[in-house]
Amino acid sequence: MVNNQRAQLDRTFAALADPTRRAILASLAQGEQTPGKLTLPVAMSKPALSKHLRVLERAGLMQREICGRCHNLKLISGPLQEAQQWIESYRRFWRDQLDSLEHYLEETHPNEEQPKPDIPRFDQPKT
């Protein structure tokens, strides 16, 4: 089971590594589309697009429904949610580690003002 989850994460991140495939997913996030109607940042040949679509299908990020000659593409969010949960676990880990370091520094140097670097916190939205 763990190896299966690891393999799924590997396929998801490999598919997301390509900017064209991320653009395809962004286009599909707007709703079901046909391959010809996808909004992509660059023009590409049908064979190149087909290759990207196969990678997304194998990763489980996209589903193709064939109705006669028409192919409808639909985003599948499950693998993205699993990747987000994996990333979130590491975000929490590092937030806790940095909070512990901050607490330690405050205890060991109570009278010294600690410089506060302008580092964005990942758990707070940007303003």
pTM: 0.69
Determine, yes or no, domain membership for 124.
Answer: no
Determine, yes or no, domain membership for 109.
Answer: no
Determine, yes or no, domain membership for 21.
Answer: yes
Encode pLDDT of 2-46 as tens digits. Answer: 677 788 899 999 999 999 999 999 999 999 999 988 878 778 888
Determine, yes or no, domain membership for 11.
Answer: yes
Determine, yes or no, domain membership for 67.
Answer: yes
Domain region containing 16: 2-76
CA dihedral for 89, 92, 97, 100, sign (positive or negative): negative
Determine, yes or no, domain membership for 19.
Answer: yes
Determine, yes or no, domain membership for 126.
Answer: no
Domains held by the chain: number: 1
Determine, yes or no, domain membership for 83.
Answer: no
Q: How far apart are CA 76 and CA 78, in angstroms?
A: 6
Q: Looking at residue 61, which CATH number applies to its domain? A: 1.10.10.10
Q: Is 15 within 8 Å of 61 (Cβ atoms)?
A: yes
- DSSP assigned state of 25: H
Which residue do the tokens 């880990």 mark? 93
Encode pLDDT of 49-75 as tens digits. Answer: 999 999 999 999 999 999 899 999 999
